[in-house]
A and B are shown apart, each in its own frame.
Chain A
Amino acid sequence: MPKRIIEVNNLIKKYKKAKELALDGVSFYVEKGAFFALLGPNGAGKTTIVSILNTTLSKTSGKVTIDGLDIEKDSLDVRKNIGVIFQSPSLDKNLTAEENIRFHVNLYGLYPYRFTFSMMSSKYQRKVIKMAKILGIKREIHNPIKTFSGGMKRKLEILRSLMHEPKVLFLDEPTTGLDPISRKNLWDYLIDLRKKKNVTIFLTTHYLEEAEDADYTCVINKGKVVAKGSPREIKAQLVERCMLVDAKDRKILFKELKKFKVKVSGKGPFRVTLNGIEPQEIIQKIKTPLNLLEIHNPTLEQAYVEIIGKNS
């Protein structure tokens, strides 16, 4: 059985001045090396969960462990094992990109502090240049943060968060504000990283297509878990697979479709709800020449809209 790297049991959080619970008995787990996605609308409690997991916010009750360590009792050891990419970039704008990385490695005690890049150990220098090259920011590594675009800042934060080789990488809405190309590049890199380093990825996002490839998804709404499972399981539970068909002779096509145990709706094109039947099974038995055939696989977004709709 794969090892559970994050375990959250009956987590409750009530903010000091709030009347309602921000988290109301949340439980889930994440397996080592998995890609886990935490989904939910604004204010659902996603950032609260991430803040508690990264030990910057105290919980009201419940038990939370990361790699077997209690997040409150062993908070310093937990922090050694995690990397966090926050919703808004947490870079020092007064420093250069490399100075931000140097500051990070010194905080984590990875290399002795030196006043300039050239005075740092050659191992550090090589590592920074190598990673900056992979992320495509090698040329800009000594430039001030002020000159960086949103995409470059995100890449730099990833580079920085990986310097101490964390076991879990938290990504809290990491692609907010990024253009589609930057988003794609970022994901290509993260997928590659996961394959090579077996880093557990804990993602919170609004962009549901980013969670399609997750191994496990947890949907929360109003501080409660409302669905969990792989994206495929969630979609299968909530959204029906269907196909759209049409023909010149709609009457005959309709008659043929009615022979199957499926729901047919519309006056043409016809929407056929598949109810577990494979489209191939239907198509090979239809004699009427088709002029339209579309198979619709449900998206996580459709499932999400349905889940949140039901729980609102």
Chain B
Amino acid sequence: MKNINAITAIAFRDITKLFRDKTRILANFVFPVIFIGVLGGSLQANLQESLPYNFLTFVFTGVVAQTLFQSTASGIISLVEDRQNDFAQELFVSPIPRQSILIGKIFGETIVSFIQVSAVILFGVLIGVPLVFPSLMKLFPFFPIIAFMGGSFGVLVMSTLTNQKTASQIFPFLIFPQFFLAGVFNPIKILPAPILLASRVMPMTYAVDLLRSVYYAGSPERDFVVLFDTRTDLIMVLVLFVIFLTLGTYLFVKNEKDR
């Protein structure tokens, strides 16, 4: 009970921080404009004729998954920032297990990612991305699963980072290639062997494909867009979540005390 109270406080601290960070709020609206509006729009205009599915919808579903994954992962990395500006000390001397701190962060950043993904959906609707609303609604239960996976990926990365400078250098290097290898903006069904291998080991690939497999379920476009069946994607996402969280938590607890 006591831990739940602490987890709630940690989670809501992240939400409060989001609402006070004007740059981050602005970025919430700028990124969908760039990713869906500019990137998706231009590719749609140039490639649509040769594609058997709507490219804007394809990019939209990819960006929704990527936003949930990346927002939560980068939010967890903010623990490195807390450590740098000494706030982490307050967390670490409190009578709650390190695991609860991480759970609180994952919950908080999951809610933050929901707020961010709402901006993506709103923007998609506003610019007229062709969406099937019942299919869109079916995605909602999978949002927390993808956010948790992103959070656990963030925990694993964060547990090995020592300072803010390293975090800001390493994290983009780990996340940006995933955009393309996971097929957020580009089809990855057919790829040359080395890229295919890289694509299939990227955790974000299964997050993106999970949402697409649910969205396109039963539609004629499904076979052109989706890589695996929903069950396979879901199992992969859950397995990776457990591995990342277990290993990340272990390393975080160990590295924090054993200096």
Contact = CB atoms under 8 A, between A and B. Distances in A.
A85 to B, nearest CB: 10
Contact of B16 (A58, A76, A84, A94): A94
A90 interface: yes
B95 interface: yes
A49 to B, nearest CB: 14
B77 to A, nearest CB: 16
B92 A56 contact: yes
Nearest to B101: A107
A90 B91 CA distance: 9
Q: Which of A15, A99, A102, A103 has the most CB of B within 10 A?
A: A103
A289 interface: no
Nearest to A111: B5
In the complex, which range does the number of interface residues on chain B fall in? 20 to 34
Contacts of B8: 106, 113
A92 interface: yes
Given A104-B90, A106-B6, A95 B259 contact: no
A76 B97 contact: yes
A95 B15 CA distance: 11
Interface string B197-219: 00000000000000000000000
Nearest to B97: A76
B6 A90 contact: no
Interface in A74-90: 76-77, 79-80, 82, 84, 86, 88-90
A104 B6 CA distance: 9
B5 A90 contact: no
Interface string B58-102: 000000000000000000000000000111111111111100000
A91 interface: yes
A82 B12 contact: no
B259 A90 contact: no
Contacts of B138: none
A15 B259 CA distance: 6
A113 B259 CA distance: 33
A307 to B, nearest CB: 29
Nearest to B17: A94
A195 interface: no
A180 interface: no
B12 A113 contact: yes
A16 B258 contact: yes
Contact of A106 (B5, B16, B85, B259): B5
A233 B92 CA distance: 37
Contact of A84 (B9, B87, B89): B89
Contact of B94 (A16, A58, A107): A107
B13 A90 contact: no
Given A95-B13, A112-B5, 5 more contacts: A58-B258, A79-B93, A99-B16, A107-B94, A109-B2
The 7 A-B residue pairs with the shortest CB-CB distance, nearest first, are: A109-B2, A106-B9, A107-B94, A79-B95, A90-B89, A90-B90, A80-B95
Interface of B: 1-3, 5-6, 8-10, 12-13, 16-17, 20-21, 85-97, 256-259
20 contacts: A54-B93, A76-B96, A89-B86, A90-B87, A93-B85, A94-B16, A95-B13, A104-B90, A104-B94, A106-B6, A106-B8, A106-B9, A107-B90, A107-B95, A107-B96, A109-B3, A109-B5, A109-B95, A113-B8, A113-B12
Interface of A: 15-16, 54-58, 76-77, 79-80, 82, 84, 86, 88-95, 99, 102-104, 106-109, 112-113, 115
